[in-house]
Structure 1
Amino acid sequence: MPTYDYQCDACDHEFELFQGINDPVKKKCPECGKLKLRRLFGTGAAVVFKGSGFYETDYRSDSYKKAAEKDKKSQSSKGDSKSDSKPSPKKTESKTESKPASRGKSDKS
Structure 2
Amino acid sequence: MPTYDYECDACGHAMELFQGINDPIVKKCPECKKNKLKRLFGAGAAIMFKGSGFYQTDYRSDGYKKAAKADKKPASDASASSKTESKASKPKKSKSDS
Q: Which protein is bigger by CA-based radius of gyration?
A: 1
Q: Which residue of 1 aligns with 2:72?
A: 70
Amino acid at match of 1:10: A
Q: Distance in 1 between matches of 2:57 and 2:11?
A: 50
- Structure number with higher relative contact order (C-alpha < 8 Å, ≥ 6 residues apart): 2
CA distance in 1, matches of 2:36, 2:12: 10
1:16 corresponds to which residue?
A: 16
| TM-score, structure 1 as length reference | 0.51
So what's the TM-score if we normalise by structure 2? 0.56
SS of alignment partner, residue 30 of structure 2: coil
For structure 2, the residue ranges without an aligned partner over 5 or more in a row are: 59-67, 76-98
- Residue 34 of structure 2: SS of its match in structure 1? coil
Q: Please name the residue that 1:100 is paired with.
A: none
Q: What displacement does 1:54 show?
A: 2.3
Separation in 2 of the partners of 1:41 and 1:48?
21
Question: What SS does structure 2 have at the residue aligned with 1:15?
Answer: strand
Deviation at 1:31, TM superposition (A): 2.0
Structure 1 residue ranges (4+ consecutive) displaced by more than 6 angstroms after TM superposition: none
The alpha-carbon deviation at position 30 of structure 1 amounts to 1.6
For 2:88, the equivalent position in structure 1 comes to none
- State the partner residue of 2:90: none
Give the residue type in structure 2 aligned to 1:3.
T
Aligned length: 65
Structure 1 residue 12 displacement after superposition: 0.9
Give the superposition deviation at 1:40: 0.8
Matches of 2:31 and 2:51 in 1, distance apart?
Answer: 39
